[in-house]
Amino acid sequence: MNTILLQNLVNPNVNLPIVLPEMIVALTGVIVMLYDSFVPRQRSVTGAISLIGLAISAFFLVSMWNDAPQTGWNGMIASDGLRLSFTIVFLLVSAVTILISSVWADNEDVPIGEYHALLLFATFGMMFMASGNDLVIIFLGLETLSIATYVMAGLRRGDLKSNESAMKYFILGSFASAFLLYGMALIYGATGSTNITEIALKVANPNFPALLLVGGAMMIVGFGFKVATVPFHVWTPDVYEGAPTPVTAFMAVGSKSAAFASFLRVFVLGFPLIAGVQASEFLHESWVTALSVMAILTMTVGNIAAILQDNVKRMLAYSSIAHAGYAMVGFIGAGMAKNMQQRDAAIAAVAFYMLTYAVTNLGAFAIVTLLGQKNDRRTAFEDYNGIGFRAPALAFTLSLFMLSLLGLPLTAGFMGKVMVFRPALEANNLLLTVMVIAAAVNTAISAYYYLRLIVVMFFRERTTDWLAPRIPTALTAALLITVLGVLYFGIFSDGVIEKFSKSSVGTVFKAGTRP
């Protein structure tokens, strides 16, 4: 019988402080579930508990902000600039979603305690996607987020559209996860490890160079689905339209940012360009080219399809596809960075873009939730006819969000785009420059459908009766936060960018040196 001597055990390197934010979010989820089991259907109490939990988690995260980049749990968790900036975005998204959902909970019969718990566990998964430095953690975080979102999309159980949306999302989401997992298996095979930093080192002399390429391609398919880039975007409009609007807001903003975080972690930090090694150069060039082409297609298809839509939720869905394309520009800029400062600046730019995109989209979806009424009956463009002067506060706020999505100067959207295009231009590469030009052209095209909503609200005659809805307190809070965010990030973005530009774990090998 084999016996294990205690000194033969590997040190698990338990490092609770580094994962404290995630643990607090999970604990809050459990507390919410416990409370809900004793006193069901207390919307305000479970909402308040969730918000307090998220706030405490954010507090601990911010207290870690000035520490040097470090890894923990045997290299599985990395606490660096990427993790900190993205996690703040996730916590903000989650908090505002809870505020937006209050409208939904008031109007319809929703199991609100469980919904809040699911939201918190989804946030838990998202946070691990950002902080995971190992393929296992990234996969588990991704699945936690995805499974929670499948359930939340189908939560309006009496509604056929919601059921259909959940089922489509589930089937296509699992399909994509299988591709992602296959890619992870091949990368493990090619390099012998699942840890991102070790993979980055092993790319210099992989055991099976061909498997790196195939694995990378499969992972692009998997991540491409989650981020909703063309050609893997077909699920987005249907799923976003059918799900209840607060859940759509969460999916459009939260899932996408989390997918970007892990996408960045694996590709920019895991597959660096090591000059002089043929395998690494080929791999790097392949993924940069593939993603550039995908980015151009994504922006174009997203914008053109959005022009043709008659339903506001579908229009916002296609708009979110286009925005993912813009964010990819920054991503590729990070991939082409020539030294660590540029790379970290580019990662910070993508995180900042996600922040501005989050704030704007959450606000837009909040208003769509309110105006959509029970079961999202009223989400077509006609339902927005002429409400401009009858509910000026709402209409002007929605116009502000549309302008920010378009990218008008002084709004957050503009600063986000500027930040994200800069790393791509600095790379001095033909394909990247073409990509930035395409992005600029697409921004101009997108003016059509963003301005169309504003025109419809203010300058169309309404044929049916309409009473301005009363805005509940929680939604007012959400709108205040998002409007302030849009204006603040538009005007005072420098401070935020500087806060986000901390260094990331992992090294980039400068051209001409070998490890």
Partner 1 sequence: MATTALFFVFAGLAIACAISMVYHKNPLYSAISLIGVFVSLSVLYVTLAAPFIAAVQILIYAGAIMVLVVFVIMLLNMEEDKPLNRLRYLYAIGGGLGLILLVQTFFVFYAVMRAPKQAVNTEETIGKTMSIGTAMYTEYLLPVEIVGILLLMAIIGGVILVRKLSQPQMESMVERELERRHEGEDKDDYRIAL
Partner 2 sequence: MEPSLASYLALSGILFTIGAVGVIFKRNAIGMFMCIELMLNAVNLTFVAFSRYYADVTGQLFVFMVMSVAAAEAAVGLGIIISFFRNRVSVDVDDASILKN
The count of other CB atoms within 10 Å of the CB of residue 198 is: 16
72 — phi, psi (to 5°)?
Answer: -145, 175
Contacting partner 2 (CB under 8 A), which of 82, 186, 299, 508?
186
157 binds partner 1 (CB under 8 A): yes
Contacting partner 2 (CB under 8 A), which of 28, 46, 133, 194?
194
The piece of 119-127, 347-355, 363-371, 482-490 that touches partner 1 (CB under 8 A) is 119-127
| Binder of residue 9, out of partner 2, partner 1, none (CB less than 5 to 8 A by kind) | partner 1
Work out whether the CA dihedral 210, 292, 419, 83 comes out positive or negative. negative
Question: Toward partner 2, which CB reaches closer, 53 or 242?
Answer: 242
Select from 369, 361, 358, 377 the least CA-distant residue to 472. Answer: 369
Contacting partner 1 (CB under 8 A), which of 151, 380, 418, 471?
151
9 binds partner 1 (CB under 8 A): yes
| Binder of residue 185, out of partner 1, partner 2, none (CB less than 5 to 8 A by kind) | partner 2
Residues within window 223-242 making contact with partner 2, judged by CB under 8 A: 234, 237-238, 241-242
User: Residue for token digits 């359930």?
Assistant: 151
Q: Is 15 left (phi over 0), alpha (psi -120 to 50) or beta?
A: beta
**Enclosing H/E stretch for 77:** strand 77-79
C-alpha–C-alpha distance, residues 503 and 89, integer Å: 18
Q: CB of residue 113 vs partner 1: minimum separation in angstroms?
A: 10
The piece of 190-198, 340-348, 393-401, 441-449 that touches partner 2 (CB under 8 A) is 190-198
Q: CB of residue 126 vs partner 2: minimum separation in angstroms?
A: 16
The count of other CB atoms within 10 Å of the CB of residue 486 is: 24
Contacting partner 2 (CB under 8 A), which of 108, 143, 382, 426?
143
182 binds partner 2 (CB under 8 A): yes
Pair type for strands 70-72 and 77-79: antiparallel
C-alpha–C-alpha distance, residues 320 and 33, integer Å: 32
170 binds partner 2 (CB under 8 A): yes
Measure CA of the first residue to CA of the last residue in the chain; give whole Å. Answer: 44
Q: Helix crossing, 340-372 with 392-406: angle to 10°?
A: 150
Residue 220 neighbours by CB under 8 Å, 6+ apart? 183, 287, 290, 291, 294
10 binds partner 1 (CB under 8 A): yes
267 binds partner 1 (CB under 8 A): no
270 binds partner 1 (CB under 8 A): no
Question: Toward partner 1, which CB reaches closer, 375 or 503?
Answer: 375
C-alpha–C-alpha distance, residues 328 and 341, integer Å: 19
Q: CB of residue 10 vs partner 1: minimum separation in angstroms?
A: 5
Q: CB of residue 144 vs partner 2: minimum separation in angstroms?
A: 9
471 binds partner 2 (CB under 8 A): no
C-alpha–C-alpha distance, residues 150 and 281, integer Å: 38
Question: Toward partner 2, which CB reaches closer, 107 or 193?
Answer: 193
Task: Give me the amino acid identity at 405.
Answer: L
| Binder of residue 424, out of partner 2, partner 1, none (CB less than 5 to 8 A by kind) | none
Q: Report the half-sphere exposure of 229 (CA within 13 A, side-chain side).
A: 23
Opening angle at CA 421, ends 417 and 423, nearest 5: 135
CB 406 within 8 A of CB 361: no
Contacting partner 2 (CB under 8 A), which of 26, 147, 203, 362?
147
> What is the number of helices (H) and of strands (E) in the chain?
20, 2
Question: Toward partner 1, which CB reaches closer, 134 or 383?
Answer: 134
The piece of 69-77, 271-279, 387-395, 412-420 that touches partner 1 (CB under 8 A) is 69-77
C-alpha–C-alpha distance, residues 362 and 316, integer Å: 11
Opening angle at CA 302, ends 298 and 304, nearest 5: 120
24 binds partner 2 (CB under 8 A): no
Residues that bind partner 1 (CB under 8 A): 2, 4, 9-12, 14, 19, 26, 29-30, 33, 73-74, 76-77, 109, 111, 114, 117-118, 121, 124-125, 128, 136-137, 140-141, 143-144, 147-148, 150-151, 154-155, 157-160, 186, 207-211, 214, 375
Residues that bind partner 2 (CB under 8 A): 135-136, 139-140, 143, 147, 150-151, 154, 157-158, 160-161, 163-168, 170-171, 174-175, 178, 181-182, 184-186, 188-189, 192-194, 234, 237-238, 241-242
